[in-house]
Amino acid sequence: MTVVIGVRCHDAVILAADSQRTEGRTRETIPKLFVSPSGVVWGSAGSIAIQQELFALMNDLPVARNPGRLEARDATVRALRDARTAATKGTDEPTEVALGVDGLFGWFSAQDRRSYLLRVHGAGNAEFARSYTAVGSVGEMARFALSRMEFLGYNDLPLEAAKMVAFGVADDVIRAAASGVGAPVQLAVANVTGSSVLGRVDLRAVEDTVAAFRDYQREYLVRDQQIKAEPDTGVRPNDAESLADVLQAWSDVLEVVRAENAMLAALLADSRPSELIGDDLVIAFGEGRTFFVRKAQEERNRAVLGKAIRDCTGRTLRLRFISS
């Protein structure tokens, strides 16, 4: 069994996959993501025989380097179809399992100056994914997990943030699956600078970032429970006049945000009001949290936070976000 996840961000396509191959009671770690000489990153799920045939065909894909949209689509559909035919040759009535295979393909088109993410079904039909997709035994679970993070705006994400999302979702799916898929997570990237499967050092950097973000979420949830456990005195800041007033209300602000958008609240768990001048409030994130700043600045997130501050302090403030 296999799961392959695809995410299309601002300037790249990222694929993530598990690493486990199961045959009977035997499990082994194998590569599941590959790069063709034409710069197409790909992975597939389903019949092992078809995947082996596909590997050979993808290494000889008859397209230019960094191909155009339709050129790559037609070539990959043909490769999957030919792999299926070759793998079942001589079989009178191949089973549905023997015929079953789905592939994900990603590439950067030099002609179009943009990236593409394509899902190809074993039956021969193909569809471009605008933001994300997944194939495999737990592909539906992966697509659901990806849909829950659409608020991030996949197509606007920078490459490093998209790597983090793809890795995190793949890791979550592997942990949640009953069997058949296993760690470690593999990542492949295609963008204007080239196509590659990430090595151990680059993967470790992504894994560390995902672990740090999970720590922030965990700390927020623990702090949230501690706040709920404290006796409510009924005192709330009214018409806050100083930074101290805003700081006093900050836990209440995060609670209101959490009721509206739990992921935004988790993101804000690493922030603190740092300066209040007139109606201008500066909110500081930890060092190097530029991605968090960028997400907080988005109009929809700014509106949720602004309303929560108004509800808890009685003031309408202009918000500015920084990374200290």
What would the pLDDT profile of 211-243 be if each residue is shown by its tens digit?
877 776 676 666 555 545 555 544 344 445 688
User: Beta-carbon neighbour count of residue 230 at 10 Å?
Assistant: 8
Q: Return the bridge partners of 17, or none.
A: 4, 186
Predicted confidence (pLDDT) at residue 98 exceeds the cutoff of 60: no
As a whole number, mean pLDDT of residues 83-107 equals 77
Using CA atoms, how far residue 189 sits from 1, 13, 63, 152, 243, in Å, is 22, 6, 19, 19, 44
Mean pLDDT in residue range 301-314: 92
pLDDT of residue 153 exceeding 80, the answer is yes
Q: Please tell me the predicted confidence (pLDDT) of residue 30.
A: 92
Residue 251 backbone dihedrals phi, psi, to 5 degrees:
-65, -35
Fold for domain 3-198? Answer: Glutamine Phosphoribosylpyrophosphate, subunit 1, domain 1 (3.60.20)
Torsion of CA 213, 154, 59, 121, to 10 degrees: 110
Percentage of the residues of the chain whose pLDDT score is greater than 90? 51
- Tell me where in the chain the CATH 3.60.20.10 domain(s) lie: 3-198
What's the pLDDT score for residue 228?
52
How many CA atoms does the CB half-sphere of 306 hold within 13 Å? 16
Q: Which of 26-35, 55-64, 110-119, 148-157 has the lowest mean pLDDT?
A: 148-157
In this prediction, residue 37 has a pLDDT band, given cuts at 50, 70 and 90, of: very high
Least confident interval from 51-55, 112-116, 154-158, 281-285: 154-158
Chain mean pLDDT for the chain: 86
User: Is residue 57 scored above 60 in pLDDT?
Assistant: yes
pLDDT tens, 156-212?
888 988 999 999 999 999 989 867 788 899 999 999 999 999 999 899 988 888 887
* CA dist., res. 175 & res. 172, Å (int): 5
Average pLDDT (11-36) is 89
What does CATH list as the number for 210-323? 3.30.300.180
Distance of alpha carbon 4 from alpha carbon 197, whole angstroms = 13
**CA dist., res. 275 & res. 252, Å (int):** 18
Dist. CA 26–CA 222, nearest whole Å: 40
* Residue 90 CB-density burial (10 A; 0-12 exposed, 13-18 middle, 19+ buried): exposed
The pLDDT of residue 73 is above 90: yes
Query: Where do the CATH 3.30.300.180 domains begin and end in the chain?
Result: 210-323
Average pLDDT over residues 71-82: 94
Structure tokens at 52: 């082996």
